Amino acid sequence: GLSERMQAVMSKLRGKGKVSEADVKEATREIRLALLEADVNFKVVKTFVNRVKERAVGQEVLKSLTPGQQVVKVVNEELTALMGTEQAKLVQANRPPTKIMMVGLQGAGKTTTSGKLVKYLQKQNRKSLLVAGDVYRPAAIKQLQVLGESLDTPVFSLGDQESPVKIAEQGLAEAKQEHVDYVIFDTAGRLHIDEKMMEELKQIREKVQPDEILLVVDAMTGQDAVNVAEHFNRELGLTGIVLTKLDGDTRGGAALSVKSVTDCPIKFVGMGEKSDALEPFHPERMASRILGMGDVLTLIEKAQSNVDAEKAKALERKMRTQSFTFDDFLDQLQQVRNMGPLEDMLGMLPGAGQMKGLKNMQVDEKQIGRIEAIIRSMTPYEKEHPEHINASRRKRIALGSGTNVQDVNRLLKQFDDMKKMMKKFSAMTKSKKKRKGFK
C-alpha cells in the first residue's frame, strides 16, 4: 500500500547522514510512483513532486545537520498542505437548528454517516433530528428509523409517497418546533450522477438553505470519488466532504486528491460501519499516518474518550519523554483492546507500521495473550529496565509465561524498536514546534 511504500522511502532518507541531490531525485521518483499507484490524480502528483523537489534540494535542507530528516519533514508538510492543512470544523449556525444536508451517490454512506453525525454531536451534548428524504430506495426510510432508534434520536418521515422537497421543508419546521440543535437531511442518491437527482437536490437546498452541504463519497472508488466531488461541488456548492470506508482496502488516492481538486475540505472520515466510526479529519495526522510517523494525537483522543483522562495524559507524557515501560505497554494493550480494532490502534503508534512483527501480532489475539503472559512474568525491575534482561532472565521469563526464549527475544526487540521510533517522532515534533516559535 501507499503507506508502506512511503515509509520505505522515508526510512531510507532518515537513515542517511548525507543526502545528495541524486538521493532526493530518487526519493521523489519513488514517491511519484507510490502516489500514482495509490490512484492520486496525476496533476496533483506532478505539482506535489515538483514542490517537494524544489524545497528538498534547497540549500537549507541539504546543508543542514540532518538532511534526511529535513526531507522527511518537507514531504510531511507538503502532504499535509495537500489535504488542507487545518482541520475543517462542522459549521454551527448562529441560531439553531444548524441544517446539514447530506448528498452523494447511492451506497456512498449518506445514511450511515447521518447516524454517525448524530452520535458525534451527542458526545457534545447536542440533540439532532434526522429527516428521511430518500423516498426511492426500498427500505431507506426504515434504515434511518432503525438508526434513529438505536441512537435515541427522532426521525422525521412522511413515508415514501411525498416529494423529498416537501419532506425536507416539513422536517425543518419540526426541527424548529422541537428545538433541536441540528437537523440532518438524509437524501436519495443514484448510482450515477443524474440530472433529476441534481435538480431535486437543488430544490431542497432552496427550501431549507442548509448551513452545511456535506458530500459523502466512498474512498474506495479512488479517482471516481474525486470526479463525483468535482461535479457535486460545481452543481451544488459543497461546504465539506466526508470520505467513507477508509477502514477498507483503499489506496488512499481520494484522500490525497479531493481537496486540491475541488478546494473543498474533508471534514470527516468514516472508519467503519458502526455509529462511532467517524473521525474529524486532521490533514497533519493523516500525513503522519501515511508516512508511518504514527498518529499519537488521535490515539490519545480515543484514549480520552474511552479511558480516564489521567491515564491518557500520563501516556502522552511518557511517549514524549521516552519513559515508556513494559507496564505501560501492557496497560496500553489492555486499553487498546477495549477501544476498537487493535489493528487501527497499533497503526497509530509511531513506527508500528514498519514493524513487521508487531503487524503480525495485531490480528492475532492468541499472540497478544502470549505477550501479556511474557510481560506479567517480568519483575518490576525488568519491566522498567528491559535492557538488563540477560539470557538467564529471558529463560526464566519464558518458563514462567509458558512461552519460549524466541518469543521473549522477539518482544524485547519490538519494544526496543518502538522506543526508538517514539524518540524519533518526538524529536521531530519538537523541531517543528521550535520552527513555529521562530516565525
Q: Choosing among ligand GDP, Mg ion, none, which partner's interface includes residue 347 (Cβ < 5 to 8 Å by kind)? A: none
Binding track over 188-227 against ligand GDP, x by CB under 6 A: -x--------------------------x-----------
What minimum distance in Å lies between the beta carbon of 214 and ligand GDP?
A: 11
What minimum distance in Å lies between the beta carbon of 144 and Mg ion?
A: 7
Element (H, E) at 436: helix 405-438
d(CA 308, CA 405): 35
**What residues from 66 to 105 belong to the interface with ligand GDP (CB under 6 A)?**
104
d(CA 167, CA 131): 8
* 111 near Mg ion (CB under 5 A): yes
* 7 near ligand GDP (CB under 6 A): no
* 403 near Mg ion (CB under 5 A): no
Is 252 annotated for ligand binding? Answer: no
Which residue number, 67 or 189, has a Cβ lying nearer to ligand GDP? 189
Q: Choosing among Mg ion, ligand GDP, none, which partner's interface includes residue 67 (Cβ < 5 to 8 Å by kind)? A: none
Which residue number, 111 or 414, has a Cβ lying nearer to Mg ion? 111
Which residue number, 134 or 212, has a Cβ lying nearer to Mg ion? 134
Q: Which residue has the cell 449556525?
A: 93
Supply the DSSP symbol for 160.
Answer: B
State the burial class of residue 283 (Cβ atoms within 10 Å of its Cβ: 0-12, 13-18, 19+): buried
Residue 104: partners with Cβ closer than 8 Å, 6 or more residues away: 110, 189, 215, 216, 217, 228, 232
**What residues from 262 to 281 belong to the interface with ligand GDP (CB under 6 A)?**
270-273, 277
* 424 near ligand GDP (CB under 6 A): no
**Peptide bond between residue 164 and the one before it cis (omega within 30 degrees of 0):** no
What minimum distance in Å lies between the beta carbon of 137 and Mg ion?
A: 6
Is 254 annotated for ligand binding? Answer: no
Neighbours of 313 (CB within 10 A): 13
Is 245 annotated for ligand binding? Answer: yes
Which residue number, 110 or 370, has a Cβ lying nearer to Mg ion? 110
Q: Choosing among Mg ion, ligand GDP, none, which partner's interface includes residue 187 (Cβ < 5 to 8 Å by kind)? A: none
Size of the site for ligand GDP (CB under 6 A): 19
Which residue number, 274 or 420, has a Cβ lying nearer to ligand GDP? 274
Closest of 331, 243, 338, 345 to residue 296, by C-alpha: 345
- H helix runs in 134-163, sequence order: 140-150
* 248 near ligand GDP (CB under 6 A): yes
State the number of CA atoms in the 13 A half-sphere of 119 facing the CB. Answer: 20
Is 142 annotated for ligand binding? Answer: no
What's the full length of the chain, in residues?
439
Is 340 annotated for ligand binding? Answer: no
Q: What is the DSSP track for 19-65?
A: --HHHHHHHHHHHHHHHHHTT--HHHHHHHHHHHHHHHTSHHHHTSS
Is 188 annotated for ligand binding? Answer: yes
Which residue number, 137 or 337, has a Cβ lying nearer to ligand GDP? 137
What minimum distance in Å lies between the beta carbon of 379 and ligand GDP?
A: 43
Give the sign of the dihedral formed by CA 64, CA 66, CA 71, CA 77. Answer: negative
Among the listed residues 53, 127, 245, 424, the single contact to ligand GDP using CB under 6 A = 245
Among the listed residues 1, 107, 280, 400, the single contact to ligand GDP using CB under 6 A = 107
C-alpha cell at 303: 484514549
What minimum distance in Å lies between the beta carbon of 141 and Mg ion?
A: 9
Secondary-structure breakdown of the chain: helix, strand, coil percentages, each rounded to the nearest 5: 60, 10, 30
d(CA 360, CA 353): 10
Which residue number, 221 or 414, has a Cβ lying nearer to Mg ion? 221
Which residue number, 106 or 223, has a Cβ lying nearer to ligand GDP? 106
User: Residues 137, 144: contact at Cβ < 8 Å?
Assistant: no
Residue 283: partners with Cβ closer than 8 Å, 6 or more residues away: 79, 80, 81, 82, 83, 84, 85, 86, 87, 259, 266
Which residue number, 189 or 347, has a Cβ lying nearer to ligand GDP? 189
* 244 near ligand GDP (CB under 6 A): yes
Residues at the interface with Mg ion (CB under 5 A): 110-111, 134
Can you say which residues are annotated as belonging to the binding site for GTP?
Answer: 104-111, 186-190, 244-247
Residues forming the site for ligand GDP (CB under 6 A): 104, 106-112, 189, 216, 244-245, 247-248, 270-273, 277
